[in-house]
Amino acid sequence: MSILGELPAAQGEILVRGKISYAAQQPWVFSASLRQNVIFGQKYDAIKYNRIIRLCALKKDLEVMPHGDGTLIGDRGISLSGGQRARVSLARALYMDADVYLLDDPLSAVDAEVGRHIFEKVIMGYLRDKPRILVTHQLQYLTVADEILILKQVGCL
């Protein structure tokens, strides 16, 4: 939250150069088509969009939705599972084409196979040349991390 400017730094300062894209721990969707949820007001680029859909393992989901990526989701549309919401949120973060990516536990709501796919194809593949901060409880992925920070909550009420 401090990197996003939502909380003040306890000490020192936080400097980020460029645009930040954030996939929240509690993924959200709004009442619109799945495509609108991913492109989030940006210009539609079919090649980029279709690549991100494949990377986020959403292709099979779209095939069973009544209107594909034109299917209305959210409060006025079909309900998505937690894993589907997480993958839509991740796809939205990727579509932003940012300089820095904050990924707050994007693997927690997906099964092991999909999690492995996302980790390999997105985090270690598509984003390999970008700074990315991954919050995870998936210890098996720590072996390839450049740096590991373990956060402890001390002195909480």
- Domains identified in the chain and CATH numbers: 20-144 (3.40.50.300)
Sole residue written with tokens 């099964």: 111
pLDDT at 154: 59
67-77 exposure pattern, b = at least 16 Cβ within 10 A, e = fewer? eebebbbbeeb
Q: What is the pLDDT of residue 101?
A: 97
What local confidence, expressed as pLDDT, does residue 4 receive? 87
Q: Write the CA distances from 135 to 45, 64, 105, integer angstroms.
A: 29, 31, 5
Q: Say if residues 1 and 83 touch (Cβ distance below 8 Å).
A: no
Q: Taking the CA of residue 87 as centre, how many other CA atoms within 13 Å lie in the half-sphere pointing to its CB?
A: 27
Q: Give, for all 157 residues of the chain, the pLDDT tens digit.
A: 888 888 888 888 888 889 999 999 999 999 999 999 999 999 999 999 999 999 999 999 999 999 999 999 988 889 999 999 999 999 999 999 999 999 999 999 999 999 999 999 999 999 999 999 999 988 898 899 999 988 777 555 5
Q: What pLDDT, on the 0 to 100 scale, is given for residue 46? A: 98
